[in-house]
């Protein structure tokens, strides 16, 4: 029986004095022996935390007891061990950086796409007047995506607004957006509505909830996650692998970060190329003086930044 859990969640809800809240919340998480990464902003919370089941239960109870976050929905995975090394809780301007100067035009509490539960999303995806839009980054959708999904060439979600013009041709369609846990879709669907798309939906709970409640059917490949698991299986009905090794083109589902920290590129890399290049994306990175030792996993703990809201 697995003794630990990983919780993925978000909540768009205004937080007064959010920077102080972040500092206090870090102390609270430490008191529960949790590890993970939480972003706090004036607009709400975005987090993934991991720890013993009882500690995770206490954390969820505390979040739900706060009336600001009572609506928070947790995606819960049972895991063999905590999926982070340290605990970070940081204040930022947004819980998902939109790249917009005027963020007031995409307030998910005022207007966002129609939420589709996994069963409803599954029923709609094959309809002729529907397009499925992946709002995640390149390295995420290269590892796994829904069958026939439209993917965008973006490195970060803040690049999404620049891609709206490319989607104009789909204004007369039903646009079904999806992401890992739902948080990016809240802003992506709101922005599409702002630009005149009239029939916009979003997969409630994202890929993770779809896997749990709908078996992940027609999600091809694996789902990238932002902890040391790197990728998780979603599809238990008709699974497949769609990603290929960045170096040799062999079909591979293994996602890594380049061992050169100044590159840190997210790539799919097979074990043979990983061994040959010592976890680097290229020979140039392999020869870099700061190259991190490759242990086969391709996951590296980030170098702590000199800020007050991180465990040293």
User: Which residues are catalytic, by number?
Assistant: 179
CB 180 within 8 A of CB 208: yes
Between the CA of residue 182 and those of 36, 55, 155, 204, what are the distances in Å? 19, 24, 18, 6
CA end-to-end distance (rounded Å), the chain: 32
Cα-based angle 183, 245, 302 (whole degrees, multiple of 5): 50
| 251: β partners | 244
Cβ neighbors of 86 (< 8 A, separation 6 or more) are: 35, 301, 304, 310, 311
**Dist. CA 295–CA 128, nearest whole Å:** 47
How do strand 231-232 and strand 223-224 relate by DSSP bridges? antiparallel
């Amino acid at each position: 029986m697995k003794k630990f859990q990983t919780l993925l969640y978000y909540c768009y809800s205004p937080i007064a004095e959010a920077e102080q809240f972040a500092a206090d919340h870090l102390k609270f998480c430490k008191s529960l022996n949790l590890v993970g990464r939480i972003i706090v902003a004036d607009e709400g919370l975005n987090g993934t935390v991991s720890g013993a089941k009882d500690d995770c239960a206490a954390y969820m109870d505390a979040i739900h007891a706060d009336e600001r976050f009572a609506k928070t929905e947790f995606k819960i995975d049972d895991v063999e061990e905590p999926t982070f090394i340290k605990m970070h809780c940081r204040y930022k301007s947004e819980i998902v950086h939109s790249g917009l100067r005027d963020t007031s035009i995409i307030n998910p509490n005022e207007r966002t796409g129609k939420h589709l539960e996994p069963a409803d999303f599954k029923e709609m995806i094959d309809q002729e007047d529907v397009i499925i839009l992946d709002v995640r980054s390149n390295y995420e959708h290269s590892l796994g995506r829904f069958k026939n999904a439209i993917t965008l060439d973006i490195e970060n979600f803040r690049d999404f607004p620049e891609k709206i013009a490319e989607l104009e041709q789909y204004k007369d369609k039903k646009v079904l957006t999806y992401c890992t846990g739902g948080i990016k879709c809240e802003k992506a669907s709101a922005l599409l509505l702002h630009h005149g798309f009239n029939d916009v939906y979003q997969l409630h709970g994202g890929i993770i909830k779809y896997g749990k409640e709908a078996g992940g059917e027609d999600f091809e490949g694996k789902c990238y996650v932002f902890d040391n698991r790197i990728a998780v299986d979603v599809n238990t009905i008709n699974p497949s692998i769609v990603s290929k090794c960045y170096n040799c083109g062999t079909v591979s589902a293994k996602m890594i970060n380049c061992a050169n920290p100044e590159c840190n590129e997210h790539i799919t890399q097979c074990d043979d190329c990983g061994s040959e290049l010592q976890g680097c994306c290229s020979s140039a990175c392999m020869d870099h003086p700061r190259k991190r030792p490759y242990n086969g996993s391709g996951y590296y703990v980030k170098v702590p930044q000199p800020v007050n809201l991180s465990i040293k």
